[in-house]
Structure 1
Amino acid sequence: MTKIIAILNHKGGVGKTTTAVNLAAALQRMKKRVLAIDMDGQANLTESFGISIEEERTVYGAMTGAYPLPMVKTNSGVTVAPSCLDLSAAESELISEPGRELILKGLIAKMPDKPKFDYVIIDCPPSLGLLTLNALTTSDYLVIPVQAQFLAMRGMAKIMSVVAIVQERLNPGLRVGGIVITQFNRRKTLNKSVSELIKESFCKQVFDTFIRENVSLAEAPIKGMSIFEYNGSSNGAEDYMSLAKEIMKKLK
């Protein structure tokens, strides 16, 4: 059965897209069939997989009803539904559309290849608007990347509140798959303190795998590559492979 995972944090700069890209790539390396959907109007996931944001067919056109969800096979083996800069405008364009929270769910349900995918990874925009609501409504699990800094903790209550509303009104099957601590440096006292606070606050919801600070993770998107293609021996590659294995085990 296809597992649909939304990657969400409405605070920018916490490694959300990095997590979506490299989790998808790690799962693919474990011989899983993966679709990554870019729901962010910044189109960072699209470019991180080496796909142009000038693609003729994108998630924007699919969300506005022009055609089915487009799919592009990348060199890494991951299939991507690409985004474009116009996607940000979709929120206002769809505001009066009946069932607007369910558009993505309908697109995924109609995909002819859905049974062929083991995992669908959705990169949400850094907001809690209509596009994010579409992702949460269609997902089975939510993974929340959190930077090991105090300010990154402040938005967690808001995310959990939105998740509770979605569970009650739109998607009772949605579960928090876990919280992953990113940009971690064990030599920094602040990072260690915040990580301990996150673990105390959310207990078993926090993954054992921490994503360490790693310059290769920042460089890989510039080349349009996952961390495994760019520097497979880096800490970033090791950490995201570990996270993918932990997620597979936890979500069985």
Structure 2
Amino acid sequence: MAVKSEPGKRALRVLVIANQKGGVGKTTTAINLGTALAAVGEKVLLIDSDPQGNASTGLGIRHAQRKTTLYDVLMGETPITQAVVKTELPGLDLVPADPDLSGVELELGQQARRSFKLRDAIDPIRQSGEYTYVLIDCPPSLNLLTVNAMAAADAVLVPLQCEFFALEGLSQLMRTIELVRGSLNPNLEIQGVVLTMYDRRNSLSEQVASDVRSHFGQTVYQTVIPRNVRVSEAPSYGKPALVYDLKCAGSQAYLKLAREVVVRERDRRAQAA
């Protein structure tokens, strides 16, 4: 059963999807969680903050359609509202990326507030009330783009592959989050850790999941994202898995995750009230 939003009672929530390790399902999670949140009634803006632009490609936004990108926004050339592209999915919009974004760190140089460019850009989105969630897909590195995303975000959602070195990489990410809290964004929270690429046939997946849950407790979502061929195929067709094959195990897992995210946010607001 879909979890409905509460009209008139929702403030924008900015979630950065981050992990400095590549190949953990980060962009796949950004695309499909955004799609699933839209499917359960949320209004979502996905910001592609990776110069590879895979989130943009995975949502079917061709390079010819990316006339204005996050690069233009961060360089102060275009308001973020003018960079928004409508996707084919009701309730899900996108700020696309292209390879120009890889030059941001060099071009911003020693500019004042260079770590707050994205936060400043998002302010009009926060004030508009148009969206309930902004998801920021980060590159697989801890560079200025990731720092900007964390400085702009309310919370971090961490995709974690069920593999041997998972906890080691997660510890490094947690140290980065603490550094951002200490110097740029004291209110940054951990929204949750989602286990990805889970293979029930592999005892290592179960062992990693058990270790992560014992270490991070309730921070880890109950939903796990399984290894799934249909999810892997979907980006080559420019579609989220939920559009490519709604009934596959991966799509159903992302729908469950979206409901869990919404419930977790509802509980957070209730505790804060």
Q: What TM-score comes out, normalization by structure 2 length?
A: 0.90
Describe how 1:9-48 pairs up with structure 2 within 5 A: 9-48=19-58
Describe how 1:90-129 pairs up with structure 2 within 5 A: 90-111=104-125, 114-129=128-143
Instruction: Output the CA distance in 2 between the equivalents of 1:14 and 1:65.
Output: 32
Instruction: Output the CA distance in 2 between the equivalents of 1:34 and 1:213.
Output: 25
Match of 1:4 among 5, 14, 19: 14
Task: Name the stretch that deviates more: 144-153 or 205-214.
Answer: 144-153
Q: Find the counterpart in structure 2 of residue 56 from structure 1.
A: 67
Q: CA deviation at 1:247?
A: 0.7
Match of 1:68 among 74, 79, 90: 79
Instruction: Output the CA distance in 1 between the equivalents of 2:63 and 2:243.
Output: 21
Aligned length: 252
1:221 partner letter: P
Conserved in 1, the CA contact under 8 Å of 2:125 and 2:131? no
Q: Find the counterpart in structure 2 of residue 241 from structure 1.
A: 255
Q: CA deviation at 1:165?
A: 1.3
Instruction: Output the CA distance in 1 between the equivalents of 2:128 and 2:170.
Output: 31
Instruction: Say which SS state the counterpart of residue 180 (structure 1) adopts.
Output: strand
Which consecutive unaligned segments of at least 5 residues does structure 1 have?
Answer: none
C-alpha change, 1:159 and 1:57, in structure 2 (3 Å) is same
Q: CA deviation at 1:251?
A: 1.6
1:77-110 alpha-carbon deviations (Å, 9 max, x no partner): 2100000011011111112111001000111103
Describe how 1:175-190 pairs up with structure 2 within 5 A: 175-190=189-204
Runs of at least 4 residues off by over 6 Å: none
Instruction: Output the CA distance in 2 between the equivalents of 1:204 and 1:228.
Output: 27
1:218-240 alpha-carbon deviations (Å, 9 max, x no partner): 11111111111100000011100
Conserved in 2, the CA contact under 8 Å of 1:104 and 1:138? yes
Instruction: Output the CA distance in 1 between the equivalents of 2:110 and 2:15.
Output: 27
Q: CA deviation at 1:152?
A: 2.5
Identical positions, percent: 36
1:96 partner letter: Q
Conserved in 1, the CA contact under 8 Å of 2:12 and 2:126? no
Instruction: Output the CA distance in 1 between the equivalents of 2:126 and 2:219.
Output: 34
Instruction: Say which SS state the counterpart of residue 76 (structure 2) adopts.
Output: coil
Instruction: Output the CA distance in 1 between the equivalents of 2:215 and 2:45.
Output: 32
Instruction: Output the CA distance in 2 between the equivalents of 1:213 and 1:105.
Output: 34
Q: CA RMSD in A?
A: 1.2
Task: Name the stretch that deviates more: 51-60 or 67-76.
Answer: 51-60
Which consecutive unaligned segments of at least 5 residues does structure 2 have?
Answer: 1-10, 267-273
Q: Find the counterpart in structure 1 of residue 236 from structure 2.
A: 222
Conserved in 2, the CA contact under 8 Å of 1:53 and 1:83? no
Q: Find the counterpart in structure 2 of residue 202 from structure 1.
A: 216
